[in-house]
Amino acid sequence: MTSAGTPVTPAGTPMAPVLYRVTGRHEETVDTVTLTLEPVGEPIQTPLPGQFTMMYAFGVGEVPISVSRIGPDPGAGSAQGAVLEQTVRAVGAVTRAVCGTRPGQVMGLRGPFGVGWGMETARGGDLVVAAGGIGLAPLRPVVLHALADRGAFGRIAVLIGARTPGDLLFARELDEWRARGVQVEVTVDRPVSGWTGHVGLITALVSAADVDPGRAVAFLCGPEVMMRVTAEALTGLGMRAADVRLSLERNMRCGIGWCGHCQLGPLLVCRDGPVVPYARAAPLMTVREL
């Protein structure tokens, strides 16, 4: 970091990408892929849960992508060291190119950027993690961090909304989280035959979360409307708006607050976010054209 807090890559500038090799690729859903990345040389700084990187598909372009695992996956036997996982949904030319990379290929990373979830401020209380769709990607490090430091947190409730059961991310991990004492509730908009989970909007799960609203911190990520209604449901249960944090998504380009593409009112989301307390985000989320 520079004195201003801007991450400097080993190339000596925050704008120069660092080379990472794809060492693993897992297709989460029909359009979403998790890549395992290992540095070719010097790594970027270790991200905090909630931070993102700019992923560069050479010759195509650069996109902001959430970090979905920090460090190696002990269950996958991946290499030790500065390993990252990033989960990408193919929605445009660049993300399609990123999703299309295969083990052995090299891509560029800049970052990590933004402020994280602030795990240290959640210690000692209960934890609510509410994710919609691809929003589970930046929240997975929260769950993994809390499980790795289980005694520092009270009860943990993970609430997940997805379009269909086939759209669930990290489906293979959810039972493991349950087995380790996490309350995991999943709801879908469109059930399929044999689905025994919840059906409906994620807000219906909020009252089922086994946490004390008076001593809980909530982390939310998903479509903005989903976060807004979930935050309202949580504050309706008695949580303070300052204890509900959202991860906002805007058009991040530089990642360091220089270019202004991701401006949201007084916020530059890449630098001041993406994680923002609901108390600060709420007045901005209903302003048209903002």
204 binding other proteins? (CB under 8 A): yes
Q: What is the dihedral of CA 94, 99, 100, 102, to 10 degrees?
A: 130
Residue (138 or 161) nearer to other proteins, CB? 161
Residue (18 or 157) nearer to other proteins, CB? 157
Find the binder of other proteins among 16, 199, 242, 290 (CB under 8 A).
199
Find the binder of other proteins among 36, 68, 86, 203 (CB under 8 A).
203
Find the binder of other proteins among 171, 201, 241, 284 (CB under 8 A).
201
Shortest reach from residue 96's CB to other proteins, in Å: 11
212 binding other proteins? (CB under 8 A): no
Amino acid letter for position 141: P
106 binding other proteins? (CB under 8 A): no
Q: Which of 112, 163, 158 is nearest to 274 (CA)?
A: 112
27 binding other proteins? (CB under 8 A): no
Find the binder of other proteins among 40, 76, 79, 91 (CB under 8 A).
91
The CA-based angle 288-235-179, given to 5 degrees, is 115
DSSP 3-48: TTS----TTSSTTSPEEEEEEEEEE-SSSEEEEEEEESSSPPPPPP
Shortest reach from residue 269's CB to other proteins, in Å: 19
Which x/- pattern over 146-175 shows residues binding other proteins (rule: CB under 8 A)? ---------------xxx---x--------
How far is the CA of 44 from the CAs of 150, 158, 272, in angstroms?
Answer: 27, 29, 20
Number of chain residues interacting with other proteins (CB under 8 A): 30
Q: What is the dihedral of CA 163, 224, 177, 144, to 10 degrees?
A: 140
Q: What is the dihedral of CA 280, 285, 289, 290, to 10 degrees?
A: 20
Residue (16 or 199) nearer to other proteins, CB? 199
Q: Which of 128, 87, 88 is nearest to 227 (CA)?
A: 128
Are the CB atoms for 172 and 179 separated by under 8 Å?
A: no
The site for other proteins (CB under 8 A) is made up of: 31, 91-92, 132-133, 161-163, 167, 185, 187, 189, 191, 195-201, 203-205, 207-208, 222-223, 225-226, 229
